[in-house]
Amino acid sequence: MATFFRHITGLLRPLVPLAQRGTYIGQHACKVSTLNFTYVQRPAVGITAKFMPYEGSSLSCLYNQPILQKVSHLLPSGPHQPVRPLTYFGLRKGKRKTVKSVVHRFLRLHCGLWLRRKAGYKKKLWKKSAARKRRLREHVFCNKTQSRLLDKMTTSFWKRRNWFINDPYQKYHDRTNLKV
């Protein structure tokens, strides 16, 4: 998040002197017309020539908008990077918190392995064959790196042994000759 704001300030820094000088030509409201660009040379400290829209054009409304609206299309709006919303110190007790999506999506065995469903097991089933749907319904183990990451995202409460009646995973909880 700090990197995002650093990039925003880097984008806005060159626009601050322009906002202080008042660079827009007309105070008229936006009118629907053709785009007429005129070559305007502003007498300022550093004489710069810019293409500015004509007062009657539809782009003159851009100069009446705040700076953030002018540069909002320049900001990155693509897909966000994956994040771990891990709370190291809670506000009430100051303790580490569990990421609830991990508990909902994965199952931890007592030996330290994590079980998950295959990706896409409930997406676009109308176009998948029966064999592919059957393969997607399987549960698979997470690898060593994923297991360590999931262990960091959960507290000791979720790592304790649970004894459930008729547990289908009972024979998988204890593994021999396994290094995690």
Task: Give me the residues of the chain with pLDDT under 50, please.
Answer: 23-40, 47-49, 51
Residue with tokens 């810019």: 50
Q: Give me the pLDDT at residue 28, please.
A: 44
pLDDT tens-digit profile of 155-167? 999 999 999 999 9
Please identify which residue in the block is written with the tokens 């079980």. 115
Helix (H, G, I), strand (E, B) or coil at 112: coil
Q: Which amino acid is at 121?
A: Y
Q: What is the rounded distance in angstroms from the CA atom of residue 167 to the CA atom of residue 148?
A: 24
Task: Supply the Cα-derived Rg of the chain in whole angstroms.
Answer: 29
Give the residue from 71, 59, 76, 77 showing the smallest Cα distance to 15: 71
d(CA 69, CA 74): 10
Distance in angstroms (rounded) separating the CA atoms of residues 54 and 31: 11
CA distance 38 to 42: 12
pTM over 0.85: no
pLDDT of residue 42: 52
